[in-house]
Structure 1
């Protein structure tokens, strides 16, 4: 199947279960990605002290007014924007990436270190299916969580209130509240 014929369904119930999805919304998603990429490019080129310009572009990217006391230091990257739900008093440091098509919720008071990455969508492991399907699941970050520099949060993860994710951690499993998570997770799971 040619990649231009692939369609993605944004079905929240399927995405919550982490199922692969296929459908008619792929073109709309692709167009949104192109539009948001253009907006983030403009945002990231603004002078650092242009608070009005940054706020206007962020509101366009997110599709709603900004929450009170939100701080985002560019460069800032997202592929969709409309799936990013940000609470009050959230701080996002430089160079963070939010691949938010399946949804990312950042609770109030969340602090995110530089170059953290949040990924809600991916591809199947099977090489025959990689270009035919997307998989996804939302990310939920509870209030007052601190995510360290360079951490990676994978699809479907929930992080409990007041937890700390150490710098460089790769988080693929849920984190209970008031927990410290550290270290890489990579290991060989299977071969083919």
Structure 2
């Protein structure tokens, strides 16, 4: 398997066993590449255009010129992040993206937001296997400071995730969720 085949394997959501040495070697190579690129991003000043270019290299995709990020930013894989237009990442975000993170146009990601897309098996026999489940963030969603979004969650369009929330299940569009675990606390309408 070459590196592109491995990245495609990961993007397809396949699990990776801790016993599979070949896949772990390739995963480690991707992780080191993501560390190298994010270290470059995080350790010196860059213009907005330079940050967009760094994210293009990190994600190996065509990140729109409208994208903004205030470093530092952290990720463990880098190749499975899809960023829409007019998206903003505030400082300190940490993404575990091997399972896929898809961010819609106009989304705002607050300071110190954590997004996870992997989980380990529950039984001792499967504990070293990681299982992927993508996270989808809808258009114009707003993820508040220090929120954590867990694997397999979809945040609906125009939804708001309150600061410090732990999101364990899907968030309907046009709602506000808050708490641990996050629950709907308000619907957003024109009078909100």
Q: Do these two structures clear the TM 0.5 threshold for a shared fold by scoring above it? A: yes
Deviation at 1:135, TM superposition (A): 1.3
Question: Which residue of 1 is the match for residue 185 of structure 2?
Answer: none
Aligned length: 173
Q: CA contact under 8 A between 2:96 and 2:116: conserved in structure 1? A: yes
In structure 2, relative to structure 1, the CA distance for the partners of 1:21 and 1:11 (3 Å cut) is: farther
In structure 2, relative to structure 1, the CA distance for the partners of 1:68 and 1:52 (3 Å cut) is: closer
Determine whether 1:161 maps to 2:152.
no
Aligned pairs for 1:27-176 within 5 A: 27-47=25-45, 49-131=46-128, 133-176=129-172
Q: CA contact under 8 A between 2:148 and 2:164: conserved in structure 1? A: yes
In structure 2, relative to structure 1, the CA distance for the partners of 1:180 and 1:111 (3 Å cut) is: same
In structure 1, stretches of 5+ residues that fail to align are 1-6, 187-192
CA distance in 1: counterparts of 2:11 and 2:97, whole angstroms? 14
SS at match of 2:26: helix
Question: Which residue of 2 is the match for residue 10 of structure 1?
Answer: 10
CA distance in 1: counterparts of 2:123 and 2:145, whole angstroms? 31
Q: CA contact under 8 A between 1:46 and 1:54: conserved in structure 2? A: no
SS at match of 2:131: strand
Q: CA contact under 8 A between 2:160 and 2:176: conserved in structure 1? A: yes
| Deviation readout 1:119-149 (Å, 9 max, x if unpaired) | 0012123344322x11110001110100000
Q: CA contact under 8 A between 2:49 and 2:65: conserved in structure 1? A: no
Per the normalisation by structure 2, the TM-score is 0.82
| Deviation readout 1:42-94 (Å, 9 max, x if unpaired) | 110121x5334323322110112321311111000111111000000001000
In structure 2, relative to structure 1, the CA distance for the partners of 1:33 and 1:108 (3 Å cut) is: same
The RMSD of aligned alpha carbons is 2.2
In structure 2, stretches of 5+ residues that fail to align are 1-5, 183-192
| Deviation readout 1:6-54 (Å, 9 max, x if unpaired) | x996262xx3xxx85435533222200011111101110121x533432
CA distance in 1: counterparts of 2:55 and 2:142, whole angstroms? 22
